[in-house]
Amino acid sequence: MDELQTFIGVKMIEARPMNYFRFKDYKKQSLGPEDKDQPGYLVRYPDGYESWSPKDVFEAAYFPLEQKDSISELDVEFFLDVLKTRVETLGEKTTILKAETITGFTYVEGSSCVDPKNYNKELGAKICHNRVRDQVWEHLGFVLQWAKNGLHRG
């Protein structure tokens, strides 16, 4: 047998919280002796196919959007892990911001002024945060485009 190759993918789905027993009832399926109730989600794919996913598996794979077809400011802020953002001063006039997303991806931005007398750490942090936010917005837009339209090859 051929060895399996690794793939990554992005898809756009609709979902709502639904425990396993409710899902079986919703699908008019009988319960088997091995069935165990657990929290999860009813998942509906673009072609209408519906399945059920355990809560932990679902929440590790999908990020909820505020709006159906666009990335919002709130989405961007939720994607950034505020607890893992660090701001430091480098030398006398440079602010360095290290921001991590909920996926573990790290952004690093810097901002400097000409004269150390004009240095303002809070202003530098705001400038850096805005740059990071803009990059996250662009990257989430890329992911949304892929999820909506799939891959178009040649």
Residue-wise pLDDT for 60-71, tens only, equals: 999 999 998 999
Q: What is the pLDDT of residue 82?
A: 86
The domain locations on the chain are: 14-61, 73-149
What pTM was estimated for this model as a whole? Answer: 0.86
User: Residue type for 47, please?
Assistant: D
Q: Which residues pair with 7 in a beta bridge?
A: none
Residue 9 reports pLDDT greater than 90: no
pLDDT at 154 over 80: no
**DSSP for 43-76, written as a single string:** EE-TTS-EEEEEHHHHHHH----SSSSS--HHHH
CB atoms within 10 A of CB 82: 9
Write out pLDDT tens, residues 98-146.
Answer: 999 999 999 999 999 999 999 999 999 999 999 999 999 999 999 999 9
